Amino acid sequence: MSSHKPINLYVISDSVGGTASQLGQAAMSQFPDADIKVSAYPFIRGEDTLISILEKAASDNAIVLHTFVDKNLNKAIQLFCNEYNLICFDPLSPIIGELEKRSEMTPLQKPGALHLLNETYFNRIKAIEFAVKFDDGRDPKGFLEADIVILGISRTSKTPLSMFLANQNYKVANLPLLPEAHIPEQIFQVDPKKIVGLTSDRKALNSIRRERMLTYGMNPDTEYSKLDRIDRELTFAKDLYEKLNCLVINVSNKSIEETAAIIINTLQIEHKHHEQN
């Protein structure tokens, strides 16, 4: 586990954000031990929404990776980032600009034009919208509609994993676990083969949570980061996973991609087994 502060990466797009996400994941794969939090903001259409996201990015001292084809939004993000010294990368505009210059044609400026008639693309959009809608247990009905239900205590990468799987066209709902919180009854109605319980090592969680507090300028030695509190949460999660008889993954030494690969592989094996029977 890295001893450095967490790094925030904001992926912002006026489409699904697949291009930017893949570039971000490719870069992140070169730093497997870094604590990188990815926040995805797809389908941004209005400047007000964009500015509110950028203001949050500025407060998080984030790296911004964006792929806007709308020239007005692209200009707005550049102006904001320049004014607030926010590091941002725009991999798409230079290529579009050069093609426009050489072809002497005007670009469509249509978000997601590459995928307009692609069924896989539309399914991915639906999956991402689903993951956003049912993130952090916002609506328990989502657990019954999901392809994958992710459970885990705080700082086990539930949301980044959900978004990564959504980009693989899986409808994912996730639920944060707290010993004091009620577990929605819908969880016990979900096929256990669709449920994934995330866990981690107590010391790794302690380090991550302490770093999180420091990032917010707070005392790192809070109840949230204490080992006895973490042990209670881990025991609560372990007991629930055993009761559900679900897949359990320790994410302490795994990247988002590795965890997702385990989940997808397990789902595919279960699907083949079901077909054979």
Residue 2 has a pLDDT of 47
Q: Residues 28, 29, 34, 35: is their CA dihedral positive or negative? A: positive
- CATH classification for the domain delimited by 118-277, as one of 3.90.1720, 1.10.287, 3.30.70, 3.40.50: 3.40.50
Which SS3 state, helix, strand or coil, does residue 1 take?
coil
Distance CA 27, CA 272 (A): 34
- The pLDDT tens digits of the residues spanning 2-24 come to 456 789 999 998 777 777 788 88
* Pairwise CA distance, residues 29 & 44, whole Å: 26
Class of domain 1-116: alpha beta
DSSP letters spanning 27-44: HHTT-TTS-EEEEEE---
Beta bridge partners of 12: 41, 66
Say how many C-beta atoms besides its own lie within 10 A of residue 71's C-beta: 12
Check: pTM over 0.75? Answer yes or no.
Answer: no
Q: Fold identical between 1-116 and 118-277?
A: yes
CA 259 to chain centre: 13
Task: Give residue 1's pLDDT.
Answer: 44
Q: What is the DSSP letter of 7?
A: E
Say how far apart CA 43 and CA 15 lie, in whole Å: 5
Alpha-carbon span 12 to 78, nearest angstrom: 13
Handedness of CA 249, 250, 252, 258 (dihedral sign): negative
Residue 8 DSSP symbol: E
DSSP letter for 140, please.
Answer: T
Domain residue spans in the chain?
1-116, 118-277
Q: Residue 152 phi/psi, 5° resolution? A: 175, 155
Low-confidence ranges of the chain (pLDDT < 70): 1-4, 107-119, 273-277
pLDDT at 117: 46
For residue 74, the SS3 value is helix
User: How far is Cα 76 from Cα 82, in angstroms, rounded to an integer?
Assistant: 10
